[in-house]
Amino acid sequence: MNGKLDPEERVLDWFEQTSDEPYDRHEYRFHFTNGDSKIFKSYLEAQSMWFNTPPLFKSHIEVLDISNKKTKNLKGGFK
């Protein structure tokens, strides 16, 4: 095998944060094992629900694109 295996030696030292603004371009659908679901506007809310729900009742989280109503209403061309 080539390369370093020690995780501490593989840390990226060139990462830069480009914005302090919150990043959330998605919504999150939390699926329960009984077929119900709940949509969250932020990942932190969905994550909180995940960790506070017993394993028997949670299925998965689906990442949804946020629908932009303005874009849907355009019929082509520029406005």
Is 61 a member of any domain?
yes
Q: Output 73 or 20, whichever has higher pLDDT.
A: 20
Is 78 a member of any domain?
no
Looking at the structure of the chain, the number of domains it has is: 1
Is 73 a member of any domain?
no
Q: What is the mean pLDDT of the chain?
A: 78
pLDDT one-digit tens code per residue, 39-49? 999 989 999 99
* CA distances to 13, 24, 44, 57 from 66, in Å: 33, 9, 16, 26
Residue 53 has pLDDT above 70, yes or no: yes
pLDDT of residue 37: 97
Residue-wise DSSP of 57-77: TEEEEEEEEPP-HHHHH--SS
Is 14 a member of any domain?
no
Is 49 a member of any domain?
yes
If pLDDT is split at 50, 70 and 90, which confidence band does 12 have? Answer: low
Token pair belonging to 28: 């999150």
Is 56 a member of any domain?
yes
The 3-state DSSP composition of the chain as helix, strand, coil percent (nearest 5) reads: 25, 25, 50
Domain range holding 48?
A: 22-65
Residue that has been written with the tokens 């355009």 in this structure: 74
Is 48 a member of any domain?
yes
Is 36 a member of any domain?
yes
